[in-house]
Amino acid sequence: MIILKEFKPMSLLAFENVSKSYGATPALENVSLDIPAGKIVGLLGPNGSGKTTLIKLINGLLQPDQGRVLINDMDPSPATKAVVAYLPDTTYLNEQMKVKEALTYFKTFYKDFNLERAHHLLADLGIDENSRLKKLSKGNKEKVQLILVMSRDARLYVLDEPIGGVDPAARAYILNTIINNYSPTSTVLISTHLISDIEPILDEIVFLKDGKVVRQGNVDDIRYESGESIDQLFRQEFKA
């Protein structure tokens, strides 16, 4: 008799018993994650929970004190930067630049940058590519930065508070852009505290509290088993 083993896709992002401290203060403690491709994952927790440290480890900006981080089965390195598209929670572009200059910058540095997609998304918004970033509203600056990141054909998109500083209408646009511009072979990791806004698009969640994973899993399964929304569970867990 031939016994067929259940197929398990290779993890796109894995943390294996990862710990990280700043001096005597632990930021992450024994964190293990296993995230396959094709998912939109919410990294959820209050300020100081370890979200920023986790993101810096993914981007190779920090090294773990113990354990291992794997991206597409590789340690974070210049090679993984080619498959990770990162949106920080602050403005990272020179605001004297014109929008079209930002496109050129990304096209120069990232071989996977889809210039046609970026033009299309900007045209949908009616944003003039000759505009200087400093002349744009806060919401439109956020959208331009997201468009730059989502116009890469990356494997892993890491978005740090992508809807934190914009109005509800801009949030809807940003979420639609995320949904419509990643492929089934890619994963989107969204770090945020605005749970109710992003819950409808999430496949999986990770709750971080005091540097530890206190809940993780499939969103539909968690809602079915608990009878509550992810937002409600978050408020209970963190007394929000």
Q: Tokens standing for 94?
A: 């020179």
Which burial class, exposed, middle or buried, applies to 60 when counting CB atoms under 10 A from its CB (0-12, 13-18, 19+)?
Answer: middle
- Distances in whole angstroms, Cα of residue 202 to Cα of each of 79, 191, 194: 28, 12, 12
Read off the DSSP letter of residue 113. Answer: B
Q: Running DSSP on this structure, what letter comes out for residue 136?
A: S
Tens digit of each residue's pLDDT, the chain (240 residues): 444 444 445 689 999 999 999 999 999 999 999 998 999 999 999 888 999 999 999 999 999 999 999 999 999 998 898 999 999 988 888 999 999 999 999 999 999 999 999 999 999 888 999 999 999 988 888 889 999 999 999 999 999 988 877 778 778 888 888 888 888 889 999 998 889 999 999 999 999 999 999 999 999 999 999 999 999 999 998 885
**Residue 10, pLDDT score:** 64
* Cα–chain center distance at 2: 41
Give the strands of the sheet with 84-87, arranged side by side: 84-87, 156-160, 187-192, 40-44, 204-209, 212-218
Residue 192, token pair as written in the block: 């945020």
Please state, in angstroms and rounded to a whole number, the distance separating the CA atoms of residues 103 and 226.
45
Contact predicate 112/82, CB 8 Å? yes
Fold of the domain spanning 11-238: Rossmann fold (3.40.50)
What's the one-letter identity of residue 180?
Answer: N
Residue that the structure tokens 């331009």 belong to? 144
Residue 169: its pLDDT value, please? Answer: 78
Cα separation values, 91 from 74, 141, 145, 165, 191, Å: 29, 8, 8, 11, 16
pLDDT value, residue 240: 57
Neighbouring CB atoms inside 10 A of 236's CB total 11
Q: Which two tokens stand for residue 49?
A: 């929970």
Cβ-in-10-Å burial (0-12, 13-18, 19+) of 93 comes to: middle
Show Cβ contacts of residue 100 under 8 Å, excluding neighbours closer than 6 positions. 129, 130
Looking at residue 9, its pLDDT comes to 54
Residue 91 confidence (pLDDT): 82
CB-based contacts of 201, cutoff 8 Å, min separation 6: 40, 175, 178, 179
Closest CA to 204 of 61, 11, 67, 59: 11
Domains of the chain by residue range = 11-238
Determine the pLDDT at residue 166: 75
- CA distance linking residue 152 with residue 83, whole number of Å: 9
